[in-house]
Structures are given as structure tokens and as C-alpha cells.
């Protein structure tokens, strides 16, 4: 049981620069900054990948607005979920942890 809890999140002792860059990962297009400039920091890359998935989902939901009936519903739903998951990611960074956001982390693992 203890092993399963350790795989869920990882406590890290990171400097302020790593935490700041990881925080950028959940602020829309700013997720590209840590993705491009901190390739050597696994903690920052973990958060940047999740941030890129959330940002891509947001862009796709904006494009879905062109679909007549379902588009606005999909956009509204996506905006709420993305905001909530971004808040979870920000809390993860502030607590210096690496939480795997369900669903998002699976897609982020493919990047």
C-alpha cells in the first residue's frame, strides 16, 4: 500500500527557480517557456507536459465554438474543467509535489 501512495505524488525539494518555472506550466501559453528552457529539470518538465496538454485542450475547445450546437456547450464545459485542473496543478507546485492529474498525465506521458 505504501508503494502505491509513493507513485501517486512525489515530494521534491526544489529551488525557487524550478518552482516558478513549474508554476508557469499552468498559465496558458506560458507553458511553453519551461518546456523549452528547462529541459534538464525533470520536475519542471513533468509540470510543463501537463500544462501543454491543458493548453492544447483549451485551444481545441476554442476551435469547437464553430460547431453550431455542441460547440458552445463543449467550450463552457472545457473552460471550467481546464480552470479547475490548472488550479490543481498550481496547488501541486506550491506544495512542491508532482501530482499526476487524472487523464491529463496519461496524455502528457506521450509527449
Residuewise pLDDT in 10s, the chain (111 residues): 444 444 454 445 578 889 999 999 999 999 999 999 988 999 999 999 999 999 999 999 999 999 999 999 999 999 999 999 999 999 999 998 999 999 999 999 887
Cell of 55: 493548453
pTM: 0.82
Q: If you write DSSP's letter for every residue of 51-107 in order, what string do you get?
A: HHHHHHHHHHHHHGGGSTTHHHHHHHHHHHHHHHHHHHHHHHHHTTB----TTHHHH
Q: If you write DSSP's letter for every residue of 9-64 in order, what string do you get?
A: --B----HHHHHHHHHTTSGGGGHHHHHH-TT-HHHHHHHHHHHHHHHHHHHHHHG
Amino acid at each position: 500500500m505504501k508503494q502505491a501512495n509513493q507513485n501517486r505524488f512525489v515530494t521534491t525539494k526544489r529551488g525557487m527557480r524550478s518552482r516558478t518555472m513549474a508554476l508557469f506550466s499552468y498559465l496558458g501559453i506560458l507553458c511553453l517557456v519551461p518546456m523549452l528552457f528547462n529541459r534538464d529539470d525533470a520536475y519542471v518538465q513533468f509540470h510543463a507536459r501537463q500544462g501543454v496538454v491543458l493548453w492544447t485542450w483549451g485551444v481545441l475547445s476554442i476551435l469547437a465554438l464553430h460547431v453550431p450546437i455542441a460547440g458552445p456547450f463543449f467550450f463552457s464545459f472545457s473552460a471550467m474543467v481546464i480552470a479547475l485542473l490548472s488550479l490543481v496543478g498550481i496547488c501541486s507546485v506550491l506544495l512542491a509535489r508532482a501530482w499526476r492529474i487524472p487523464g491529463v498525465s496519461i496524455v502528457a506521458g506521450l509527449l
